[in-house]
Amino acid sequence: MTTDQRKFYRHPIKAPIRLREVTGTDARDSKSEDISSGGLSFFWPSFLAKGTRLELSIPIEQQLFKMKARVAYCRKDGGMDLFRTGVCFEDSTSAFRAKLAEEIIQIRNYREQMRSLRGKEISEEEAADQWIRRNAENFAKLLG
């Protein structure tokens, strides 16, 4: 899928994900490659047919963000023995949960950047406050 075919801007976010086919029983782990308010992509060891329904979760600390999605595309990656797989969220609740998980990851990354730049730790609250002030308008667009 080319960038111009996408409805949503994708953010490169490497986050652990767990997924399971709705019709299956075994959950398996992967890592997201990018995420948007419409879906996310990841690499998977086997082909998943377009339209396959999935239950996804993103664990962040003591929280588990659960989402429902459908496979939008799945294609063999030339450089690896894996399939690059893109999914779209099935409902607005799943999209919101993914966005919230993304923001938490972004705040963590921002906190680490500030620690590297300043040479000292900043609290999670301070990092979140700064991140929210800088990016609240973008997050509000998802709600409106």
- pLDDT value at residue 77: 84
Q: What is the CA radius of gyration of the chain?
A: 16
Residues 94-106: b if buried by 16+ CB within 10 A, e if exposed: bbbbbbbbbbbbb
pLDDT digits (tens, 9 = 90+) for 4-27: 445 555 667 788 899 999 988 789
In the DSSP assignment, the letter for residue 62 is T
- Cα–Cα dist 108/125, whole Å: 11
Q: Point out the least confidently predicted range of 50-54, 129-133, 135-139.
A: 135-139
Q: What is the pTM of this model?
A: 0.72
Q: Is 28 helix (H, G, I), strand (E, B) or coil?
A: strand
- Cα–Cα dist 31/118, whole Å: 30
- Residue 85, H or E segment: strand 83-89
Q: In the CATH scheme, what is the homologous superfamily, with its name and number, of domain 3-143? A: predicted glycosyltransferase like domains (2.40.10.220)
Residue 25's identity, in one-letter code, is: T
Locate the domains of the chain by residue range.
Answer: 3-143
